[in-house]
Structure 1
Amino acid sequence: MRVIEIMGGHGPAEALTPAERPEPTPGPGQVRIHVQAAGVNRPDIVQREGRYPPPPDASDLLGLEIAGEIDAIGDGVTRWAVGDRVCALLGGGGYAEYAVVDARHALPIPENLDFIQAAALPETAFTVFANVFEGGGLKAGETLLIHGATSGIGVMAIQMAKAAGARVIATSRGAAKAEAARALGADISLDATTGDLLEAVKAEGGADVVLDMVGAAYAELNLNALKPGGRWVVIATLTGALAQIDLMRVMLKRVILTGSTLRSRPADEKARLAAAVEQTVWPWVASGQVRAKVEAIFPLEQAAAAHQRLEAGEHIGNIVLTL
């Protein structure tokens, strides 16, 4: 089968090289998916650079989300049949013509979505649900502050928060991205390159939940922007992981600081999360309230160009590889 390997084990985008490998065989409880499209995400870049090794039981190939058709089924799988259209969350192995996945980590593709749209859903939908709704406890009527609002995660968070009846304050870099976030449904969309972000957020009443992909540079802003009893959820640290914060203010405001990663969670926990996403988020997807915004599409063999596009930081939404 066709795959993309990292020449030398790690390196720049140019290290991504087309190669051939044997087709995998599904084991007990697994299905094999004939991949039609695969999402490209920032963790793929970090792994390619050698800073995010795959879990011990995962493929060394990049790719955390795919969409395609099931073409083989392992022992003990009862939900799926050959030919079913599914998208799935992977620990790795998505940049390939075939991928094997725990059958519990696959979800049916709604009829109104094609493979390209579906491939951009699992990583973002699972991440937002686990962090904003479970970790952050976002409720209808509350305000969610999203940094990096035009990333794939940000786009999904805007739509899911609005579908749940929450208010959204979005921050992004540049007027064009701020306008894009507004068009996606953000109630307030702020250009992080102009003005005082903290004062602008406070003028809107502050936030009940912060979804933070920036890290250290925004730590002070986040603590000050949160309402009493607010929840600060960290899912990435693009400006650094070490920050100094005033713990007395954390105590006085009763702030909850939390965060998580998705890839390293046990298989049973991912299965639980998949079931929760299917119950809560999939109806929003089926109704059209929530959609992945696919900004760029590249053939598998051009994975290097896809990574360069993502690294440039000018994209709005998701980048997808097709096979």
Structure 2
Amino acid sequence: MMKRIILSRHGVRYPFEFRDKFKNIFSKDIVNWNYDSTLNANLTNKGALLELLFAKFLRKYLCINNDNTINIVANSTSRTYETARLLSLGLVPGRQINIECSDLSFAKRDPWFEFNYPNQSYINNDRVNEFDQKAAKLGIYDKFKEIFNLDNECLYMQSNTTLSYAEGEWLKPSGKLFYSSSTSDVMQSMFYDGFKESEIFRSQDFISDLKLILKAKDFVIDLIWNNPKLALESDKNIYQLLKSCFYSNSDLNILVGHDTNIATVLGVLGIEVPELNQLEKYPIGSKLIFSVYDDKSFDLELAYFDYQDIRNFNVNIEPKVVSLGSKLKLK
């Protein structure tokens, strides 16, 4: 078997806690979704089933059998660990695979999946302004005002986009671009959960508007996590972890992290995601598949479920796979 490495996003999840935050930003309730708050950021039942289906597909697509050596590392969050568990279950049913996870209490993130800015010099304020202006020009901020009928005096309308470095903490993002990103993420989660479009926000062309506001999330991910200089100059991050997998003895290495991790890796490799006509640039549950040759060059594919298949779930759906390049080299 050819050596394979998979870098996976976690599957479809509930949102992060948003109620108080949104009230503060928009000066009103814009979301009506009452679920058990202990489920915040955990996989949904649909998300779990999708990962099992994905694993079943990968078993066939990559010709995995029960004799293959498989190594799995998951970030220490519930959603990434559960995704890893479900992938292992679907890839080799009946076989127990140990999942490496740095903290099973999920209290502390694994630094290999984090992206720590050591100082201000890695923040490019021109880039912050560029993404902010791009969002404004595309009409993202105006669209928020329209679909949620926002008052000009609310924090969202009054805010400016800034990204600053905080000593001893993580970055401090603030303002319209970041507010748009976290809000659009909740709207997408509602869409996948099966809410009627009219219950999510009012729109003449719902999918087009959802895709538009989710571009704010794409911009934020690329702004912060697509930073090749930082990825190559810091000791611990997803690219360095991925690189080590090229030298492991396992037939298949699986790393389960986040869309941010995929952005970091593709940024270092200098690969643009083609227009997939999906809701996000790095689709939920998507996976980078590396097929590694003896000389450590590799073919790269991106596999993901179409957003309509996630919304209208049935057990016969299969992921789409697109090539991102062949005989590529690590940096």
TM-score when scaled to structure 2? 0.23
| Greater fraction helix | 2
| Greater fraction strand | 1
TM-score when scaled to structure 1? 0.23
